[in-house]
Amino acid sequence: MALMRNILTISTIVLTGAMVSIAPIEQSMAAETLTRTELCGKLQQQVQHAMTEHAEAKRAAKAKALQKTGTRFCASNKQAQGIRSYAQALKLLGVQPVDD
């Protein structure tokens, strides 16, 4: 009887310790995840910067059109489409989109 109580107590302590050690990891991962609206803003800034840096690129006109499309989508609560447009514009300019 005492052995069962000791095993149960030790198991409870181990599980509690595991839960306590995992909680900060989950919180830090949640803090790093951007919302689609935040990602729209971040990509919009990145595209704007890339447009000034690569204005002479062959596909700059197409990238500019995709930038405008992305801005319209993000402004009208269609962030997924806006994010895709920004990512395509960046790729046309030879820039890797941010992913965080």
40 located within any domain? yes
The 10s digit of each residue's pLDDT in 21-35 is 565 555 555 557 889
5 located within any domain? no
64 located within any domain? yes
44 located within any domain? yes
| Structural domain containing residue 74 | 36-93
Helix axes 60-75, 79-92, angle to 10 degrees: 170
Whole-number Å distance between alpha carbons of 43 and 13: 46
58 located within any domain? yes
* pLDDT score recorded for residue 97: 86
7 located within any domain? no
* pLDDT score recorded for residue 83: 94
**Strand, helix or coil at 77?**
coil
The 10s digit of each residue's pLDDT in 46-79 is 999 999 988 888 889 999 999 999 999 999 999 9
